[in-house]
Every structure is written in structure tokens, then in C-alpha cells.
């Protein structure tokens, strides 16, 4: 029997989108009939979900608030998107007013934002947000979609949301990106319970061994081992830095702990010297005499998370690495970086397409591991104290029944956050 998900809306277009993005759930509409008085999307979503959750204790309840934010208009229409031209809501009037207010304006950058609030069966509240950046066209185009879709052209496309059609739109839309996080919360809840006690998804290498023996597929995105300090003035991010002697040995120890699965492992690394060395030493520890290691730029500074590597270097060159990272994880956006959740979705899709063996180890950097864990909700808030240590991993665990869940794997081989 499909799990019921109560949704605070009477909008049939929105219900159809939710059903398409979250197949396998029984979507039950429940109009909360409340005033949306909050100044932001999250506040309004919480007002609505609390109203319907009170009527459905012990079940999942969900509400969203979404809208269009136009940079030249100071973020308007924003939370007033549905009633931009006044009461009652009138889509043609809203679109006409938006075009009128942008007459003669060169900067037409905009983004759709969707914030979803959930209440789980235990009464806990969860809030996630998805963005889709783009710009406003000079005239409407297309017949699919609803609202401002005929005027909004997402980044990387020449067609409007209304031209793209529902299937293509759902892959990149603000609601699609928010609901991808909802899907993790809904599907991960019961699956993660089998591999955790208390805290969300923290495993050891022994847990990984057990999961593999049980027939699960495991993909480990692993932080490289110990390297010397990086000069903050180095725009190459220390690309030529090797491992320390301790780093080489702890990588071999990592491999020895997983040696039983050397026959089913697939290895890859970012092209950086220290990550390649880490993977080579792991393979040595696993007893692989001639390992097949694929250098992948998508795991390095060509990653999905970097939109502008030079801008990232400019941001980080003052040494305030952790503060900048934490700001990125909490807001989902930061100068030089791609949108956090969209980048994570793209990375996961790439990984699942490239790694087909029962076990995968792909070596990369702490920033990308932390970004992945933050986007997937495994770590709610990073501090220096709980930052991934050398050889810690972000794990994707795929169960035989198709369930997918996420975890932080503590290698336990180092207590260091940065280099020696």
C-alpha cells in the first residue's frame, strides 16, 4: 500500500507536479484555509503544514510556498507571486504587470524558489528549499505549465518553462529540486534506521563491510589522506601537493580494512596529485597489483560544485575556509559555487552512471564531501569539530530493494581536519 502524504494545497497543477516528482506516494490534498502572513517562503510553508498536520497526527504532512524573485525588482513578486496584480489571483494580470514593471530594464535575472515544510509522523518539522535561476523573457511563450512559466527561461535553456513541458521542467525546476530533498527525507527515514542508533547516518568502515556482505551496493566518496598545508595564495588549490608519509600509510590501512572486497571494487580519483596518491595507496592496501584508477575531472576542480573556480579561489584566499563553506551549506548559494542541491543531484546522477561495480571508492576533497552530506541532510550543521577528517567518506548505499540512503563514514584513521 502506498504511503499517504497529506499536502496543503487545492492547486491541481501543483498536485500533479508533486505526484510526477514523487511517484509511489498517495498524495492527499488538504486545503489548510489559513492566512499566509509570514514575510518569507519558509514561514508561510510552516503556517500551512502545521494547520494540516494537526488534522493528521502520525502521518507525513507537507506544504510549500513558492514564487518568482526578480533581481531588478528587489526580489518581487516574491511571496506575493500568486497575487502580484491584486486579489483574487489572476495569472494573465500577474504576467502583464511583471512585463510592464520590467519595461526598459536590461537586468532581467530571476529565480524561482520553492520552500517545502514537512511534519513527520513523530511531529518533527523539516524545511528544505530549491532554486531555479534564469531570466524573464520579453514576451510569453509556450502553453504548458502555469503561473509565470511562459515568461521564465531557466539558465542553460533558450525555451521557457511553458515550452519545455512538464517532464523536462520537473528535472530542473525549483519544486523538483526541493522535492528531491523531500524524497530523501521520506525514503531515507526507515532505511537509515537499520544502520544508525540515534544520530543520522554515521557509519564506520566495519559497517560498510557488513552492508556489502548483506548485498548492498556502496559508493564511497572519500576525502584524500593527509597532505601538507596549502598556501592560501595558491590559485591551484595546492594541485601539486603530495601526501605526507603518514597520509600514504593511513591510505594503505584504509585499503587493508576493505581488502575482502578488492574483487568487486571500482576506483576513481580527481586528477589532483594527492587524491591520485590516496587512491593508489588504498589499492595497494587492498592487494591490487595493477589497479585500474580512472582520473575524473568531475571529482576535482571541474566538479559540479564549482561554477567559477577562480571566484572560489578569490573568496577563500584570505584563509576563512570554514566560514565560507558553512555559509554555502546553510544558504545553498555562494559566489563562485553552483546551487548546492542542484550540484549534488548532478554529482549523484553522474556517480550512479559511472560506477557500476558493487563497491566504489572515488577520492576527492573535503569540501565536496561536506557539501554532499549537507545537501542530503546527513549533517544538519557543520563545525570544525565534526568536519570530515582525512579518509572520511560520504556514502551512497543502494539496497537490493532499490532503497537509497546516505551516510557519513568515519574511517577513524586520522583526527586531523587540515594538513600538518
Q: Could you report the per-residue pLDDT of 215-225, keeping only the tens digit for each?
A: 999 999 999 99
pLDDT category, 201, cuts 50, 70, 90?
Answer: low
- Whole-model pTM? 0.55
Find all residues with CB under 8 Å of 86, minimum gap 6, and list them: 93
Query: Whole-number mean pLDDT of the chain?
Result: 87
Torsion of CA 302, 303, 304, 309, to 10 degrees: -60
pLDDT (tens digit, 9 = 90+) per residue, 386-402? 899 999 999 999 888 77
| Whether residue 384 has a cis bond before it, omega within 30° of 0 | no
Helix (H) or strand (E) holding 212: helix 205-213
Q: Where are the alpha helices (DSSP H) in 120-196?
A: 161-164, 166-172, 174-193
Alpha helices of 258-409 — where are they, by DSSP H? 273-285, 309-316, 321-331, 340-354, 366-375
For 120, residues 6+ apart whose C-beta sits below 8 A from its C-beta are: 60, 126, 185, 189
Residue 84 corresponds to which cell in the numbers above?
502580484
Rounded Cα–Cα distance for residues 261 and 51 (Å): 50
What whole-number percentage of the chain has pLDDT above 70? Answer: 92
Grid cell locating 100: 510592464
Q: Are residues 127 and 102 in contact, defined by beta-carbon separation less than 8 angstroms?
A: no
Higher pLDDT, 206 or 420: 206
Of 235, 212, 259, 223, nearest in space to 389 by CA: 223
Residue 46 has pLDDT above 70, yes or no: yes
End-to-end alpha carbon distance in the chain: 55
Asked whether the predicted pLDDT for residue 184 surpasses 70, the reply is no
Is 279 a residue whose pLDDT tops 80? yes
What number of other Cβ atoms are within 10 A of residue 15's Cβ?
Answer: 15
User: Which domains does the chain carry?
Assistant: 3-189 (3.90.950.10), 199-410 (3.40.50.1240)
* Mean pLDDT in residue range 95-105: 96
65 is catalytic: yes
294-342, pLDDT tens digit by residue? 889 889 878 889 888 788 878 877 778 888 888 899 888 888 899 999 8
Beta-carbon-side half-sphere exposure of residue 375 (alpha carbons within 13 Å): 30
For the segment 251-261, the average pLDDT, to the nearest whole number, is: 95
Question: Residues 65, 345, 366, 392: which is the catalytic one?
Answer: 65
Amino acid at each position: 500500500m502506498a504511503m499517504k502524504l497529506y499536502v496543503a494545497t487545492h492547486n491541481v497543477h501543483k498536485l500533479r507536479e508533486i505526484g510526477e516528482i514523487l511517484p509511489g506516494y498517495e498524495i492527499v490534498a488538504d486545503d489548510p484555509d489559513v492566512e499566509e502572513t509570514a514575510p518569507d517562503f519558509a514561514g508561510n510553508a510552516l503556517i500551512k503544514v502545521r494547520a494540516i498536520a494537526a488534522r493528521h497526527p502520525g502521518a507525513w504532512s507537507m506544504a510549500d510556498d513558492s514564487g518568482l524573485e526578480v533581481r531588478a525588482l528587489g526580489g518581487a513578486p516574491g511571496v506575493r507571486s500568486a497575487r502580484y496584480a491584486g486579489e483574487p489571483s489572476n495569472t494573465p494580470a500577474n504576467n502583464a504587470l511583471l512585463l510592464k514593471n520590467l519595461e526598459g530594464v536590461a537586468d532581467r535575472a530571476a529565480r524561482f524558489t520553492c520552500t517545502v515544510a514537512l511534519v513527520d509522523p513523530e511531529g518533527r518539522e523539516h524545511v528544505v528549499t530549491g532554486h531555479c535561476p534564469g531570466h524573464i523573457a520579453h514576451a510569453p511563450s509556450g502553453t504548458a505549465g502555469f503561473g509565470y512559466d511562459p515568461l521564465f527561461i531557466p539558465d542553460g535553456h533558450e525555451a521557457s518553462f511553458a515550452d519545455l513541458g512538464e517532464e523536462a521542467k520537473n528535472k530542473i525546476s525549483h519544486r523538483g529540486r526541493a522535492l528531491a530533498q523531500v524524497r530523501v527525507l521520506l525514503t531515507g527515514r526507515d532505511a537509515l534506521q537499520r544502520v544508525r542508533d540515534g544520530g543520522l547516518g554515521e557509519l564506520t568502515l566495519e559497517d560498510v563491510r557488513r552492508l556489502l556482505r548483506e548485498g548492498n551496493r556502496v559508493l564511497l566518496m572519500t576525502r584524500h589522506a593527509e597532505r601538507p598545508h596549502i598556501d592560501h595564495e595558491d590559485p591551484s588549490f595546492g594541485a601539486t601537493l603530495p601526501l605526507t608519509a603518514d597520509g600514504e600509510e593511513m591510505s594503505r590501512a584504509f585499503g587493508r580494512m576493505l581488502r575482502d572486497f578488492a574483487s568487486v571494487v571500482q576506483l576513481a580519483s580527481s586528477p589532483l596529485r594527492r587524491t591520485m596518491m590516496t587512491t593508489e595507496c588504498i589499492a595497494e592496501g587492498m592487494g591490487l597489483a595493477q589497479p585500474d584508477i580512472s582520473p575524473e575531472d568531475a571529482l576535482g576542480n571541474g566538479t559540479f560544485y564549482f561554477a567559477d573556480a577562480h571566484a572560489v579561489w578569490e573568496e577563500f584566499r584570505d584563509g576563512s575556509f570554514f566560514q565560507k563553506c558553512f555559509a554555502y551549506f546553510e544558504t545553498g548559494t555562494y559566489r563562485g559555487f553552483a546551487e548546492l542541491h542542484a550540484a549534488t543531484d548532478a554529482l549523484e546522477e553522474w556517480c550512479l552512471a559511472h560506477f557500476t561495480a558493487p563497491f566504489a571508492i572515488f577520492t576527492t576533497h573535503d569540501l565536496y564531501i561536506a557539501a554532499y552530506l549537507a545537501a542530503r541532510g546527513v549533517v544538519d550543521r557543520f563545525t570544525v569539530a565534526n568536519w570530515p577528517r582525512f579518509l572520511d567518506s560520504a556514502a551512497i548505499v543502494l539496497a537490493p530493494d532499490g532503497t537509497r540512503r546516505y551516510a557519513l563514514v568515519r574511517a577513524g584513521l586520522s583526527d586531523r581536519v587540515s594538513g600538518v
